[in-house]
């Protein structure tokens, strides 16, 4: 009876331990899956998971309303929201975190309980030499049902129930044997411990987090692209206007030249310079219109409004390039932001953490395999199935316990894998250090470019004002016969170039600011856009 009580206690203790570990293992790896929301920042009271009907759905961005016909009128912010809600390339990238989460579920499946069952029937006929005319017929039917689970501690637990029914022509009654058993195998060295058994799952979670940073980087890149394309589109529109005005002025100059030739005030050779200038203006206008049309297509692809007649839609920009009232912090502050927020740098830091987990796995592989196992069972015998089950509480029991050991003499594969993991981890750390240096160069270069572009605005404005005066003076001199058509054309050509350079300088400054914010990883924050991967990775 003492042995029987011990078995019962061990069975109950093991079952409770398995259940507790099962719940704790699930709790340790369970987490609330964040939706991959990319869109306007929500208020503190409404999160992407909120069920408030005023909150935009987590899988859609609050896209501005676009009329089904006519040109698309958008501000810069409207263009950003349209891109985040409709752009096809972004939709492709947004699937990556969800795909990566399936790998997490795949790794968690290693700790799922498994239901097993079986049914078999055996019939044996044996003839005895002493009785050649009489044969023994033995029959056996076996039914089994069990549940097993592998725990993150390296413990394999299995509970099984089985029944055997036997009968023979040698006796009239059937014999039933029912058994309830519990087996526990605990890895003591290789394969044991939470750190090793949860390492693959934690790596999968890091991979999912890495895809969030990758998605954030792509979202920042596409927001930067749509902003730059927006301003470049405005630039090409303005360039066409400038070329048209310049062409009109060149044609007016030609008419003046023809009139002065007609009255004999100028030689006919002066007409060639005026006609050449008109040809140059038309050449520039053709190029400007071509750039406008190509930029128009690029902006349409980014916005991708839901329209079957997409490529024929016009675009009206509600914002025009203007110098923003922005005062940059010192360059070290921008570098500090980049070192915390750059998505690619955070991805690289996650690779270091993944390498640490790989070392945990390969170091465990260096250990010998030593397992402690114990099998406990109680059986009941009777002439019927029901009574055999009731008899399980009887005195019949079985206990099997022991230790198994396995270790390769050289263990070459495990050593090679461990060495590889150590080198890969070192490589990942060096990659982080290299990327930190590249971030320093990127931010400092972009900071210099922003300051250069800002200074160019005033410089090009001054140049344009001076060249306007020069062109006016040259035109006055031409009217009184103290200049030539060629000199007037050169002055007008210089003025044309300066006017384009002036609007180009403003656009360059806007784009330089966008690039600086993108490189430091703060563009989405500055535009009020929420996206995964906002939290920096700590090392």
Query: Consecutive 10-residue runs of the chain (539 residues): their mean pLDDT?
Result: 46 49 43 65 48 39 69 91 91 93 94 93 74 71 92 94 80 77 93 94 95 95 96 94 86 79 76 85 92 94 84 90 90 95 96 96 94 87 64 76 92 94 96 96 96 94 88 81 78 84 93 96 93 88
| pLDDT (0 to 100) of residue 205 | 95
Compute φ and ψ for 25, nearest 5 degrees: -65, -40
Query: Which residues are bridge partners to 159 per DSSP?
Result: 147, 182
Q: Which element (helix H / strand E) includes 435?
A: helix 412-479
Q: What is the secondary structure of 323-370 as a DSSP string?
A: --------HHHHHHHHHHH-HHHHHHHHHHHHHHHHHHHHHHHTS-EE
Long-range (24+ apart) CB contacts under 8 A made by 291-294 are 291/236, 291/239, 292/233, 292/236, 292/237, 292/239, 292/240
> How far apart are the two ends of the chain, measured CA to CA in Å?
58
The one-character DSSP state at 409 is S
Q: Name the DSSP class of 111.
A: G
**Residue pair 82/63 in contact by the 8 Å Cβ criterion:** yes
Q: Give the three-class secondary structure for 153.
A: coil
State the span(s) of the chain assigned CATH 1.20.1600.10.
39-107+200-357+420-530
What's this model's pTM, rounded to 2 decimal places? 0.81
Query: Residues with Cβ < 8 Å from 474, sequence gap 6 or more?
Result: 483, 487, 488, 491
Statement: 39-107+200-357+420-530 belongs to CATH 3.40.50.1860: no
pLDDT at 124: 79
H helices of 480-534, in order, are 485-520, 523-526
pLDDT computed for residue 10 by the predictor: 44
């Amino acid at each position: 009876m003492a042995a029987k009580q011990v078995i019962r206690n061990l069975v109950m203790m093991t079952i409770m331990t398995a259940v507790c570990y099962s719940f704790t293992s699930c709790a340790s790896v369970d987490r609330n899956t964040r939706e991959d929301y990319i869109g306007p920042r929500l208020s503190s009271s409404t999160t992407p998971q909120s069920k408030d009907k005023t909150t935009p759905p987590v899988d859609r961005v609050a896209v501005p309303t676009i009329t089904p016909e006519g040109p698309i009128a958008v501000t810069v912010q409207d263009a950003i929201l349209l891109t985040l809600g409709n752009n096809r390339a972004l939709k492709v990238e947004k699937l990556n975190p969800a795909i990566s989460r399936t790998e997490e579920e795949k790794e968690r499946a290693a700790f799922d309980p498994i239901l097993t069952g079986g049914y078999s029937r055996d019939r044996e006929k044996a003839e005895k030499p002493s009785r050649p005319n009489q044969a023994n017929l033995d029959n056996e039917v076996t039914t089994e049902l069990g549940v097993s689970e592998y725990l993150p501690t390296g413990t394999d637990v299995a509970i099984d129930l089985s029944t055997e029914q036997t009968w023979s022509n040698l006796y009239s009654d059937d014999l039933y044997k029912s058994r309830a058993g519990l087996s526990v195998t605990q890895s003591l060295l290789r394969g044991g411990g939470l750190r090793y058994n949860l390492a693959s799952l934690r790596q999968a979670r890091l991979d999912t987090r890495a895809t969030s940073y990758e998605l954030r980087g792509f979202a920042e890149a596409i927001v930067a692209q749509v902003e730059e394309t927006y301003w470049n589109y405005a630039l090409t529109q303005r360039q066409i206007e400038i070329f048209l005005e310049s062409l009109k002025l060149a044609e007016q100059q030609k008419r003046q030249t023809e009139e002065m030739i007609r009255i004999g005030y100028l030689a006919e050779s002066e007409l060639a310079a005026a006609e050449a200038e008109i040809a140059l203006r038309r050449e520039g206008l053709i190029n400007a219109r071509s750039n406008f049309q190509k930029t128009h297509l690029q902006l349409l692809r980014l916005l991708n409004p839901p329209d079957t007649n997409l490529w024929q839609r016009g675009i009206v920009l509600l914002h025009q390039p203007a110098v923003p009232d922005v005062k940059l912090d010192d360059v070290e502050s921008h570098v500090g932001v980049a070192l915390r927020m750059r998505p690619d740098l955070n991805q690289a830091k996650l690779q270091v953490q993944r390498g640490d987990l790989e070392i945990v796995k390969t170091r465990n592989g260096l250990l010998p395999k030593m397992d402690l196992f114990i099998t406990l069972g109680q059986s009941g015998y009777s002439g019927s199935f029901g009574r055999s089950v009731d008899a399980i509480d009887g005195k019949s029991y079985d206990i099997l316990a022991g230790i198994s050991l396995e270790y390769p003499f050289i263990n070459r594969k495990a050593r090679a894998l461990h060495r590889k993991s150590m080198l890969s981890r070192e490589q990942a750390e060096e990659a982080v250090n290299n990327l930190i240096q590249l971030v320093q160069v990127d931010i400092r270069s972009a900071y210099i470019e922003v300051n250069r572009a800002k200074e160019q605005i005033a410089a090009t404005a001054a140049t344009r004002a001076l060249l306007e005066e020069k062109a006016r003076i040259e035109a006055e001199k031409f009217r009184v016969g103290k200049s030539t058509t060629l000199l007037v054309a050169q002055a007008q050509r210089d003025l044309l170039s300066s006017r384009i350079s002036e609007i180009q300088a403003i656009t360059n400054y806007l784009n330089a600011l966008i690039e600086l914010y993108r490189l430091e990883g703060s563009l989405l924050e500055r535009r009020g856009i929420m996206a995964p991967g906002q939290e920096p990775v700590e090392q």
